[in-house]
């Protein structure tokens, strides 16, 4: 269990998460306990255990976050609820991420990809991959949440204050002025004020909201329960901030790993280029933007995305808390203990994925065994925006490989947490625009 109070938290963050989890599993088996983030934890590393916790017996395990993190996102956010409240919020959020609204976003996401990596990047221009991908995923999040946010002041204030909240998310929670956490709390309050202003403007244009828009904000504003009651501005703000938080860093992290994996595997990169070149020619012949149909003709690129999600395992585990004493395979999980299904261990287990540390998209030519591939979680609390995330990754890959060549500019190996695992230093690369090389 590690040291008193701090447990094994420092040990956990001092090394690659794969080394920590697999080392514990090798020593103690597929069910073991530890103490991190100030909590006694039970960790489980089998597909059966993940299904038990997240699906079949999900009512015995509630989602749980440290109070400091809940305060930054907002207590009404989808993450922090169970049962009827959770189902209602989830259905509401998913309504803005259903096939029809997402299809309509494709040309706009393509335009955002072009803006994130513009034509001015050439002649060995040095960029921080993770930073560029965070800008891109933030803009996609804004698009999905607000639609076309015409007020540029709102957009910049959202970006600035969200960045401050993000920096303070994993900091030590204290109210001392000048600390990252205190600054984050102040920025969180400003985010709520900005969102309230946008809500007020939407409500003034009530007919427009009802008739046309299908973005998340409009869905939240329009919603009424059976008694005719609506969500408060505070509830709407909490869920918008929660979705923005879930949408940005995770997708940016995956995209950063995609850039590295493609660079390190030239034959796979070439196969992706061949597939995307056909789509690029069709787009050019049609003299229009990318369409939903184009994203459905990327079978190999889609396997690259799935393999990147597996190998990178951005979400290494998820936190649950036992709401009662629970027995699992002869082990007692005490009430109040944290329970963590280890997605990373399952994704890297050679029993489920042959040669698991090799980047091999072809492994997805056959569907993985049930409950062995869970990059977006599983059960009622699985990520509701997973299809949008995969879509924006596909679109960015298309833009990247059809327009640029890139080389790593820093050390090849190493990992850091920001807060999710990313290549060290954000993967600095030098890029050349292909049109200048011909």
**What sections of 169-215 are H helices per DSSP?**
180-204, 206-211
Instruction: Answer yes or no: are the C-beta atoms of 106 and 398 closer than 8 Å.
Output: no
Tell me the mean pLDDT per 10 residues along the chain, length 438.
Answer: 74 70 85 83 92 92 81 83 77 82 91 88 88 94 87 89 87 85 94 91 62 76 82 90 86 96 96 96 83 94 97 88 93 92 92 95 95 88 86 96 92 77 91 78
Structural domain includes residue 385: yes
Structural domain includes residue 191: no
> How far apart are alpha carbons 238 and 78 in whole angstroms?
8
The pLDDT value given to residue 361: 97
The pLDDT value given to residue 247: 81
Show the CA angle centred on residue 41, arms to residues 39 and 44, nearest 5°.
160
Neighbouring C-beta atoms of residue 262, cutoff 10 Å:
21
The pLDDT value given to residue 207: 45
- In 3D space, the residue among 106, 90, 399 whose CA is nearest the CA of residue 246 turns out to be 90
The pLDDT value given to residue 211: 40
Binding-site residues for heme sit at 383
CA distances from 169 to 1, 153, 345 (A): 25, 24, 25
- In 3D space, the residue among 367, 385, 369 whose CA is nearest the CA of residue 377 turns out to be 385
What is the H or E stretch that residue 61 is in? Answer: strand 61-63
Q: Which domain holds residue 307?
A: 8-147+213-433
- Categorise residue 325: left if φ over 0, alpha if ψ from -120 to 50, beta otherwise: beta
Q: How many structural domains comprise the chain? A: 1
Beta bridge partners of 317: 342
What is the H or E stretch that residue 333 is in? Answer: strand 331-333
Binding-site residues sit at 383
> How far apart are alpha carbons 263 and 431 in whole angstroms?
12
Structural domain includes residue 197: no
Furthest-apart CA pair in the chain: how many Å?
66
Rg of the chain over Cα atoms, rounded to whole angstroms, equals: 22
Structural domain includes residue 154: no
Structural domain includes residue 167: no
Structural domain includes residue 44: yes
The pLDDT value given to residue 311: 95
Structural domain includes residue 278: yes
- What does residue 320 show for φ and ψ, rounded to 5 degrees? -130, 165
Structural domain includes residue 122: yes
Neighbouring C-beta atoms of residue 200, cutoff 10 Å:
10
CATH of the domain at 240: 1.10.630.10
The pLDDT value given to residue 373: 95
């Amino acid at each position: 269990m590690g040291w008193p109070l701090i447990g094994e938290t420092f040990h956990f963050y001092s090394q690659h998460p794969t080394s920590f989890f697999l080392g514990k599993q090798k020593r103690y088996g597929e069910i073991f306990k530890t103490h991190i983030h100030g909590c006694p934890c039970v960790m489980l590393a089998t597909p059966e255990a993940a299904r038990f916790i997240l699906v079949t017996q999900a009512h015995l395990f509630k989602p749980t976050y440290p109070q400091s993190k809940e305060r930054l996102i907002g207590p009404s956010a989808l993450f922090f609820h169970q049962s009827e409240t959770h189902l209602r919020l989830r259905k509401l959020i998913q309504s803005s991420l259903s096939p029809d609204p997402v299809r309509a976003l494709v040309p706009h996401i393509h335009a955002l990809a072009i803006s994130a990596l513009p034509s001015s990047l050439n002649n060995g221009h040095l960029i921080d991959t993770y930073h560029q991908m965070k800008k891109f995923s933030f803009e996609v999040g804004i698009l999905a949440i607000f639609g076309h946010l015409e007020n540029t002041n709102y957009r910049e204030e959202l970006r600035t204050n969200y960045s401050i909240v993000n920096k303070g998310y994993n900091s030590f929670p204290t109210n001392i002025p000048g600390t990252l956490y205190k600054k984050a709390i102040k920025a969180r309050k400003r985010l709520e004020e900005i969102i309230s202003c946008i809500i007020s403007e939407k409500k003034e244009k009530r007919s427009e909201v009802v008739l046309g828009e299908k973005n998340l904000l409009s869905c939240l504003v329009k919603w009424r329960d059976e008694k005719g009651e609506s969500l408060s501005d505070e509830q709407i703000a909490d869920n918008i901030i929660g979705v923005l938080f879930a949408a940005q860093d995770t997708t940016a992290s995956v995209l950063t790993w995609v850039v590295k994996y493609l660079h390190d595997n030239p034959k796979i990169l070439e196969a992706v280029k061949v597939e995307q070149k056909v789509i690029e020619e069709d787009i050019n012949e049609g003299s229009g933007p990318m369409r939903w149909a184009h994203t459905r003709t990327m079978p190999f690129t889609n396997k690259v995305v799935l393999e990147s999600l597996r190998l990178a395992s951005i979400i290494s585990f998820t936190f649950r808390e036992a709401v009662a004493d629970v027995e699992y395979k002869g082990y007692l999980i005490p009430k109040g203990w944290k329970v963590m299904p280890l997605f990373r261990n399952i994704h890297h287990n050679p029993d489920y994925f042959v040669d698991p540390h090799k980047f091999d998209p072809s492994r997805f030519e056959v569907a993985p065994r049930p409950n062995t591939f869970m990059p977006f979680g599983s059960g009622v609390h699985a990520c509701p925006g997973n299809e949008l995330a995969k879509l924006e990754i596909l679109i960015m890959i298309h833009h990247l490989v059809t327009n640029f060549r890139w080389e790593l500019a820093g050390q090849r190996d190493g990992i850091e947490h920001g807060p999710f695992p990313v290549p060290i230093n954000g993967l600095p690369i030098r890029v050349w625009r292909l049109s200048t090389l011909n």
